[in-house]
Amino acid sequence: MPMAAQANRKWLLLLAIPFIALLCTPLYSRITPVIWGFPFFYWYQFLWIPLSAAITFLVYRKSGR
C-alpha cells in the first residue's frame, strides 16, 4: 500500500470518536446539568449531531475521498 494511502486511512479513525462517545451510555445517563429544560442525557446526544457532521467533513477533506 502506498504511503499516501496509509496516511489517508489514519484519518478514518476519527470516525470512531462519535460512535464510542455515544456507545458508552453510562457516561451520560443522568439528568443534570439541564440546559434550556433539556436533561444532560438529551442535549449530550443532540450535541453530537453537529460534532459528528464536522468530524465527517474533516475526514472527507483530509482523506481525499
Q: How confident is the model at residue 3 (pLDDT cuts 50, 70, 90)?
A: low
Q: How does DSSP assign 1-65, residue by residue?
A: --HHHHHHHHHGGGGHHHHHHHH-GGGT-S-PSPBTTB-HHHHHHHHHHHHHHHHHHHHHHHHT-
Per the structure, the complete domain to which residue 39 belongs is given by: 3-63
pLDDT at 5 over 70: no
Instruction: Please state the separation of Cα 57 from the chain's center in Å.
Output: 11
Residues 6+ apart with CB under 8 A from 24: none
Measured between alpha carbons, how far is 28 from 22 in angstroms, rounded to an integer? Answer: 8
pLDDT in tens, 18-57: 999 999 888 888 888 998 898 999 999 999 999 999 999 9
pLDDT score for 10: 84
Amino acid 28: pLDDT = 87
> What's the domain count of the chain?
1
Q: What is the pLDDT of residue 7?
A: 63
